[in-house]
């Protein structure tokens, strides 16, 4: 039997240590199964809303609950690191010659930053638990890529609530939190679950350019610009090309319009996520000419590097086709003979759009 006075004291110190590691939100939840969460994940997958993200389906039984991944887990420690922007994420809407990169990808890759901080925190916890006489404490750390439902776990731990746009909204940090989780064998006292504060607001639902919400709290990823520009390989379906506008990597529209962001202060953001000067408002003309080496050099340390040059240039071509900018015609035309057939097809489309518009 673990002494709760010991775990409570350890929990209080862990909260302070998490802050020292740059986390602005931390909460604790039991590692218990939740039939509602499990059912909703199943419904989402059965509706095919995950599109070609087969990895969501492959490990659904593991993803649905901490216990199904790791029966020994007792607690979930949910953590949030802020990336609140200093600028208006929608500012480039009326500048079709510029490329819009979503806020989360304008600075350093959060996978690296959050994972490193989680690992340091985990090492601290094991050492301190031992010092308190808790033997054989085990834990696992996660950010994004593991089969873990970080948003509902974050809500269960009191970090915020899943808004109608499906992301976790925090009363203090709005929509701008990266999430991470630690599963551990220490039975920490749980915090109170956060409740929904969306009320009658529908701002995120009406802001979506591709109508990706079949209903509040439900996202059809196949229609989401984030999915289409990052996860989706192959040609972007015609029906979404115009609506994508000049968004070349991810999308912030449903997050940016959320009224809770007025409480978010960019001073709380981790400096690693501050926008790189060259990614705030890059010229499409400069991005269209990137070859493989140029792409890798430009996006080293950035989450953008993972989509590779071909998918990136494909996205830039969709934006160029929407731009009606004469100066983009030459670089677009050069790409019609690109060795990658998806790039060449997007270039044909963009060229015909530019020709019709000019």
Binding footprint of ligand SF4 on the chain (CB under 6 A):
163-165, 169, 198, 201-204, 207-210, 212, 219, 224-226, 251, 253-254, 257-260
Q: Which residue has the tokens 């001073």?
A: 267
Q: Is 88 a catalytic residue?
A: no
Report what 299 binds from ligand SF4, ligand B12, none; CB cut-off 5-8 Å by kind: none
Q: Are 196 and 216 in contact (CB under 8 A)?
A: no
| CA pair distance 82, 102, nearest whole angstrom | 15
Q: Nearest distance from residue 129's CB to ligand B12, in Å?
A: 25
Closer to ligand B12 by Cβ: residue 42 or 327: 42
82 DSSP β-pair partners: 177
Helix (H, G, I), strand (E, B) or coil at 4: helix
Is 7 or 166 the residue whose CB approaches ligand B12 more closely? Answer: 166
From the number of C-beta atoms within 10 Å of its C-beta (0-12, 13-18, 19+), residue 297 rates as exposed
Residue 188 CB coordination number (10 Å) = 20
- 227 counts as binding ligand B12 under rule CB under 6 A: yes
CB of 226 to ligand SF4, least distance (A): 5
Task: Given the residues 97, 109, 136, 144, select the one marked as catalytic.
Answer: 144
Closest CB to ligand SF4 among residues 32, 91: 91
Q: Which stretch binds ligand B12 (CB under 6 A): 8-16, 249-257, 269-277, 350-358?
A: 249-257
The conformational region for residue 26 under phi > 0 = left, psi -120 to 50 = alpha, else beta, is beta
Footprint of ligand B12 on residues 173-202 (CB under 6 A)? 177-179
Residue 341 structure tokens: 């057939």
Closest CA to 250 of 271, 235, 231: 231
Our CB check for ligand B12 shows the closer of 5 and 195 to be 195
Q: 217 contacts which partner out of ligand SF4, ligand B12, none, CB within 5 to 8 A by kind?
A: ligand B12
Nearest distance from residue 94's CB to ligand SF4, in Å? 17
DSSP 123-161: HHHHHHHHHTT--S--EEEE-SSSS--HHHHHHHTTS-E
Which CB, 10 or 198, lies closer to ligand SF4?
Answer: 198
Nearest residue to ligand SF4 on Cβ basis: 163
Stretch that binds ligand B12, among 182-190, 252-260, 284-292, 306-314 (CB under 6 A): 252-260
220 binding partner (options ligand B12, ligand SF4, none; Cβ < 5 to 8 Å by kind): none
Asked if 181 contacts 150 with a C-beta cutoff of 8 angstroms, the reply is yes
Q: Counting Cβ atoms within 10 Å, is residue 318 exposed (0-12), middle (13-18) or buried (19+)?
A: buried
Instruction: List interacting residues with ligand B12 (CB under 6 A).
Output: 37, 40-41, 44, 53, 56, 102, 104, 143-144, 148-152, 162, 165-168, 177-179, 217-219, 221, 224, 226-227, 231, 250-252, 254-255
């Amino acid at each position: 039997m673990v002494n709760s006075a010991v775990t409570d004291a350890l929990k209080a110190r862990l909260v302070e240590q998490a802050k020292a590691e740059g986390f602005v939100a931390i909460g604790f939840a039991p590692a218990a199964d939740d039939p509602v969460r499990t059912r909703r994940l199943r419904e989402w997958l059965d509706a095919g809303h995950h599109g070609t993200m087969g990895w969501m389906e492959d490990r659904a039984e593991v993803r649905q609950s901490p216990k199904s991944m790791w029966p020994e887990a007792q607690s979930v420690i949910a953590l949030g690191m802020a990336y609140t922007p200093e600028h208006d994420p929608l500012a480039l809407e009326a500048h079709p010659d510029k490329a819009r990169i979503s806020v989360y990808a304008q600075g350093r890759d959060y996978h690296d930053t959050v994972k490193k901080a989680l690992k340091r925190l985990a090492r601290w916890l094991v050492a301190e638990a031992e010092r308190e006489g808790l033997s054989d404490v085990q834990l696992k750390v996660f950010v994004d890529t593991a089969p873990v439902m970080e948003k509902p776990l974050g809500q269960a731990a009191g970090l915020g609530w899943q808004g109608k746009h499906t992301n976790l909204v925090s009363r203090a940090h709005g929509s701008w939190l990266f999430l991470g989780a630690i599963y551990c064998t220490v039975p920490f006292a749980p915090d109170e679950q956060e409740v929904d504060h969306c009320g009658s607001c529908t701002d995120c639902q009406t802001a979506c350019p591709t109508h990706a919400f079949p209903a509040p709290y439900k996202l059809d990823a196949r229609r989401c610009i984030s999915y289409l520009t990052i996860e989706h390989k192959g040609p972007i379906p015609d029906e979404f090309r115009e609506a994508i506008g000049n968004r070349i990597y991810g999308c912030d529209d449903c997050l940016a319009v959320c009224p809770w962001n007025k409480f978010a202060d960019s001073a709380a953001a981790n400096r690693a996520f501050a926008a790189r000067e060259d990614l705030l408002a890059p010229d499409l003309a400069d991005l269209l000419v990137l070859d493989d080496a140029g792409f890798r050099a430009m996006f080293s340390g950035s989450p953008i590097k993972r989509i590779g040059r071909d998918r990136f240039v494909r996205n830039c071509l969709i934006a160029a086709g929407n731009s009606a900018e004469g100066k983009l015609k030459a670089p677009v035309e050069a790409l019609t003979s690109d060795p990658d057939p998806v790039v060449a097809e997007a270039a044909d489309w963009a060229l015909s759009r530019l020709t019709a518009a000019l």
